[in-house]
């Protein structure tokens, strides 16, 4: 389990997610509101930039499509920036949130998400390297311009495609944002 070395322990009852930026309906939701949304379980692989993978992870949580429906990003919103309780950040094009397996995870293999796995709530974007799946999530900002996150500012790939082994800046496939 890789992270910044800070392990914020936020009780589910105290957890809140702020969603704002270029959205029609900014939102601040707590645990109860999140759990009232559609819940799914997906099984996907999880790929770390350090070359290991964890296969068949059974994540439970809220599909990102539900979040998009709730806040209604404006046409100007092209990117998202995730902010975590440990102040970690990572960026994505908004298109990544439309993937069927993109979600706000609250469980792993049927158990509540532990702190070591980024609980109580983390982002899961299986089609990208794990650093794009922010742990300890507390905020989602919808943006017009791309804003590099923690690792992207330190030379990691902005696109993070594990199948193309895009680990470092300069390895991205042209046309990714098209």
Q: Does 174 reside within a domain?
A: no
Tokens at 52, concatenated: 């290991």
Beta-strand ranges (E) seen in the chain are 16-21, 27-30, 40-47, 53-63, 79-84, 89-93, 103-108, 111-112, 122-124, 137-143
| Residue 109 maps to a domain | yes
What CATH number corresponds to the domain at position 114? 3.90.420.10
pLDDT tens for the chain, 178 residues long, are 555 566 788 999 999 999 999 999 999 999 999 999 999 999 988 877 677 778 899 999 999 999 999 999 999 999 999 999 999 999 999 999 999 999 999 999 999 999 989 999 999 999 988 889 999 999 999 999 999 999 888 888 878 877 777 776 766 555 544 4
CA separation, residue 79 to residues 38, 91, 93 (Å): 24, 7, 4
The parent domain of residue 73 ranges over 12-164
Instruction: Indicate the helix (H) or strand (E) that contains 69.
Output: helix 64-71
């Amino acid at each position: 389990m890789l992270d910044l070395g800070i392990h914020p322990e936020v009780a589910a009852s105290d957890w809140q997610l702020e969603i704002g930026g270029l959205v029609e309906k900014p939102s601040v939701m707590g645990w109860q509101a999140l759990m009232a949304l559609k819940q799914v379980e997906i099984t996907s692989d999880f790929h770390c930039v350090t070359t290991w993978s964890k296969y068949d992870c059974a994540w439970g949580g809220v599909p990102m499509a539900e979040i998009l429906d709730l806040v209604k990003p404006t046409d100007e919103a092209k990117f998202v920036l995730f902010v975590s309780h440990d102040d970690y950040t990572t960026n994505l094009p908004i298109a990544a949130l439309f993937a069927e397996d993109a979600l706000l995870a609250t469980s792993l293999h049927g158990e509540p998400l532990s702190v070591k796995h980024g609980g109580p709530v983390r982002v899961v974007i299986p089609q990208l390297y794990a650093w794009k799946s922010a742990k300890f999530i507390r905020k989602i900002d919808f943006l017009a311009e791309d804003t590099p996150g923690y690792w992207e500012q330190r030379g990691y790939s902005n696109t993070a495609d594990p199948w193309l082994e895009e680990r470092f800046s300069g390895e991205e496939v042209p046309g990714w944002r098209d």
